[in-house]
A and B are shown apart, each in its own frame.
Chain A
Amino acid sequence: MKQFRSMTYPYVLWISVMIIVPMLLIVLYAFTVSGNDVLTFQFTLENFHRFITDSVFRAVLWRSLLIAVITTLICVLLGYPIAYIIAQMGEHANTVMILLITMPTWVNMLVRTYAWMGILQDEGVLNSLLGVFGIGPVQMIHTSFAVILGMVYNFIPFMILQIHTSLAKMDKSLLNAANDLGANPVQAFLRVTLPLSVPGIISGITLVFLPAVSSFFIPKLLGGGQYVLVGNIIETQFLTTGDWNFGSAISMIMALIIMLSMYLTRKVDVSAASNGKE
Chain B
Amino acid sequence: MKKALVLLLLALSLCLVGCGAKPSGAQSEAEAIEKYGSAVLKVYMPGEYLGENVIQNFEKQFGVKVIMENFDSNEMMYTKLQAGDSYDVLIPSDYMIERLIKGDYLQPLDHSLLPNLGNLADAVRNMDYDPDNTWSVPYFWGSVGLVYNTENVDPKVMEAEGWEILRDTDYAGQIYIYDSERDSFMMAFKALGYSMNTDNSDEIQAAYEWLREMNQTMDPIYVTDEVIDSMIGGYKDIAVVYSGDATVILDENEDMGFFMPNEGTNIWCDAMVIPANAENPLLAHEFINYFLTYEAAFDNSETVGYASPHAQVLEEMSTQEDLYAENEAYLPRSNYKNDEMFHDNVVLQKELSQLWIKVKAEK
Residues of A within 8 A of B (CB): 54, 56-57, 59-60, 122-123, 142, 224-226, 228, 232-233, 236, 238-243
Inter-chain contacts of B215 with A (CB < 8 A): 226
Q: Is the CB of A242 within 8 A of B75?
A: yes
Q: Is the CB of B73 within 8 A of A225?
A: no
Q: Please name the residue on chain A nearest to B353 by beta carbon.
A: A241
Q: Please name the residue on chain A nearest to B358 by beta carbon.
A: A56
Are A240 and B181 also in contact (CB < 8 A) when A122-B235, A224-B221, A225-B222 are? yes
Chain B min CB distance to A95 (Å): 41
Secondary structure class of chain B's binding surface, majority of residues: helix
Are A224 and B233 also in contact (CB < 8 A) when A57-B361, A59-B362, A242-B79 are? no
Residue with the highest number of chain B CB atoms closer than 10 Å, among A226, A228, A243 = A226
Q: Please name the residue on chain B nearest to A141 by beta carbon.
A: B221
Partner of A56, one of B181, B224, B233, B362: B362
Chain A min CB distance to B289 (Å): 33
Interface size on B, residues (CB 8 A): 27
Of all A-B residue pairs in the complex, the 3 with the closest CB atoms, nearest first, are A225-B222, A225-B179, A228-B361
Partner of B360, one of A57, A123, A225: A225
Chain A min CB distance to B361 (Å): 4
Chain B min CB distance to A43 (Å): 20
Inter-chain contacts of A241 with B (CB < 8 A): 349-350, 353-354, 357
Q: Is the CB of B361 within 8 A of A60?
A: yes
Chain A min CB distance to B82 (Å): 9
Q: How far is the CA of A63 from the CA of B75 in the complex (A)?
A: 28
User: Which chain B residues (29-68) contact chain A, with CB distance < 8 Å?
Assistant: none
Chain B min CB distance to A81 (Å): 34
Q: Please name the residue on chain B nearest to A244 by beta carbon.
A: B79
Chain A min CB distance to B362 (Å): 5
Are A226 and B75 also in contact (CB < 8 A) when A122-B235, A123-B233, A243-B354 are? no
Is B220 among interface residues, defined by CB-CB distance under 8 A? yes
Q: Please name the residue on chain A nearest to B177 by beta carbon.
A: A225
Q: Is the CB of A225 within 8 A of B223?
A: yes
Q: Is the CB of A228 within 8 A of B221?
A: no
Are A239 and B76 also in contact (CB < 8 A) when A142-B221, A225-B224, A226-B221 are? yes
Q: How far is the CA of A224 from the CA of B221 in the complex (A)?
A: 7
Q: How far is the CA of A142 from the CA of B223 in the complex (A)?
A: 10
Are A236 and B76 also in contact (CB < 8 A) when A122-B235, A224-B222, A228-B361 are? no
Inter-chain contacts of B3 with A (CB < 8 A): none
Q: How far is the CA of A193 from the CA of B10 in the complex (A)?
A: 69
Is B363 among interface residues, defined by CB-CB distance under 8 A? yes
Q: How far is the CA of A241 from the CA of B221 in the complex (A)?
A: 21
Q: How far is the CA of A225 from the CA of B224 in the complex (A)?
A: 8
Q: How far is the CA of A136 from the CA of B40 in the complex (A)?
A: 53
Chain A min CB distance to B153 (Å): 19
Q: Please name the residue on chain A nearest to B74 by beta carbon.
A: A240
Inter-chain contacts of A123 with B (CB < 8 A): 233, 235
Inter-chain contacts of A236 with B (CB < 8 A): 353, 357
Q: Is the CB of B361 within 8 A of A240?
A: no
Q: Please name the residue on chain B nearest to A235 by beta carbon.
A: B357
Chain A min CB distance to B342 (Å): 15
Q: How far is the CA of A230 from the CA of B222 in the complex (A)?
A: 17
Contact with A along B332-361 (1 / 0, CB 8 A): 000000000000001001100110011011
Q: Please name the residue on chain A nearest to B178 by beta carbon.
A: A225
Inter-chain contacts of B353 with A (CB < 8 A): 236, 240-241, 243
